[in-house]
Amino acid sequence: GQNIDQPTEMTATEGAIVQINCTYQTSGFNGLFWYQQHAGEAPTFLSYNVLDGLEEKGRFSSFLSRSKGYSYLLLKELQMKDSASYLCAVKDSNYQLIWGAGTKLIIKP
Amino acid sequence: IAGITQAPTSQILAAGRRMTLRCTQDMRHNAMYWYRQDLGLGLRLIHYSNTAGTTGKGEVPDGYSVSRANTDDFPLTLASAVPSQTSVYFCASSDGTSDTDTQYFGPGTRLTVL
């Protein structure tokens, strides 16, 4: 079967750095996405990785290792507005997105 | 530019009733999707459409139907609602042609079936 694993919840301090991990086992791989979802709102696109390595976009970076079936999202200089759920999704061999259950990130002052 | 709109925002429905959730996009995207999101579970694909006139089944299609008469609209119908269909429903779209093919989401419909 296909499986995306993420921690259910993480807590971090304002101004700090946090790393949210995602491991996957899917039938085929055509890219990995990270989305942010604030409570009661729609998911919004953060990043896309299809090749191994680190993609940096401002305070957010995303890393992929295809051989290990592993990705992480790194958030720097955390702000209170970063409190949200972070969803990892993999595009499988049928080009459909398989979604993890999401990681709820709680930021404390 | 609105992006993707969904209606209604929320609905309480008696079991056995028929319900259509509406979704409209103004980005001229080829592909559209319907997902449900339940607590503790990832988004699950119900149905999708790669282009106007075509539809396909996702992971959890039973009890739902869709149509894609034109590029902009992708309604989701529950023929006879059951309590297990209580969920938040998201419509999404993507251009369907780029390598990234990022999906963009509507605001969601919160449906409660009693």
Note whether A88 and A32 are within 8 A (CB).
Answer: yes
- With CB atoms and an 8 Å threshold, state whether B43 touches A95: no
Nearest to B5 by CA among B109, B94, B112, B77: B109
Residues above pLDDT 90, as percent of chain A:
94
- Those residues whose C-beta lies under 8 Å from the C-beta of residue A20, and which sit 6 or more positions away, are A6, A7, A10, A72, A73, A74, A75, A86, A88, A103, A105
Q: How far apart are the first and last CA of chain A?
A: 40
Q: Does B50 touch chain A (CB under 8 A)?
A: no
Q: What single DSSP character describes residue A87?
A: E
Average pLDDT over residues B36-63: 95
Here the tokens at position B36 are: 């449900």
pLDDT for res B74: 98
Instruction: Kindly report the nearest CA distance between residue B81 and chain A, in angstroms.
Output: 23
Residue A84 at interface with chain B, using a CB cutoff of 8 Å: no
* Residue % of chain B over a pLDDT of 70: 99
Residue A90 phi, psi (nearest 5): -115, 135
Residue of chain B whose alpha carbon sits nearest to that of A42: B107
Does B1 have pLDDT greater than 60? no
The whole-number pLDDT of residue B98 equals 72
What six digits make up the tokens of A2?
């296909």
Q: Could you tell me which of B62, B80, B66 has the C-alpha nearest to residue B31?
A: B66
Name which residue leads in pLDDT, B97 or A44. A44
Q: Coil, helix or strand for A55?
A: strand
pLDDT at residue B59 greater than cutoff 70: yes
A101, B90: Cβ pair inside 8 Å? no
Chain segment A26-64, per-residue pLDDT in tens? 999 999 999 999 999 999 999 999 999 999 999 999 999
- The answer to which of A42-56, A95-109, B88-102 has the lowest mean pLDDT is B88-102
Q: Are A92 and A26 in contact (CB under 8 A)?
A: yes
pLDDT at B28: 94
